[in-house]
Amino acid sequence: MTDLMIKTQCLDYLDQCPCMLATIHKCPLCSLLLGQDRCDCRWPGLCLYAHYLWNKKSPGTPPLKHHQFQLETRLLEGPGKCLLYGYLAPSFLETLQKGDSLVLWREDLHQEIQTVVTEIFRQNSFAELQAEATLSPDQIPGPATLFTARPISLTPAI
């Protein structure tokens, strides 16, 4: 197992690989997708990179209402740091900037997930959110979960 895999654990790789993280070159399981010269993934069966190349297509933005967030995948980056990657409606994404705070909620969760926008991929209607440190990954539902996103604080546009 590579150092990268030890530092960053993809919580959804069995069901979702390769996902949108391959397209934005942030896949923690594939050294080639991260820009390294040789494969060091030790992936069983078909190489993740080969699978990505053969099936390379944009999954497209799911049809989302203005304040919806559809979770694509979750990464655990050490103790207390869970990154959530997902789609936002383009109209909502336009209002966001790096550093903005959002609350994700679902009626069936009985709790809100406090997040901070850490990266925005506008061309893909995709965002990286860091979940609050007090949550464990098992408290965050998996891929394709649809949340309502509510801004807490937005960075003023310059």
Question: What averages of pLDDT result for each successive group of 10 residues across the chain (158 residues)?
Answer: 51 74 82 81 71 64 86 84 91 94 87 92 93 75 89 69
Domains by residue range for the chain, with CATH: 3-54 (no CATH), 68-153 (2.40.30.20)
For residue 8, give both structure tokens. Answer: 């960053």
For residue 71, give both structure tokens. Answer: 């979770």
* pLDDT for res 3: 40
Rounded to 5°, the CA angle 41-121-148 comes to 105
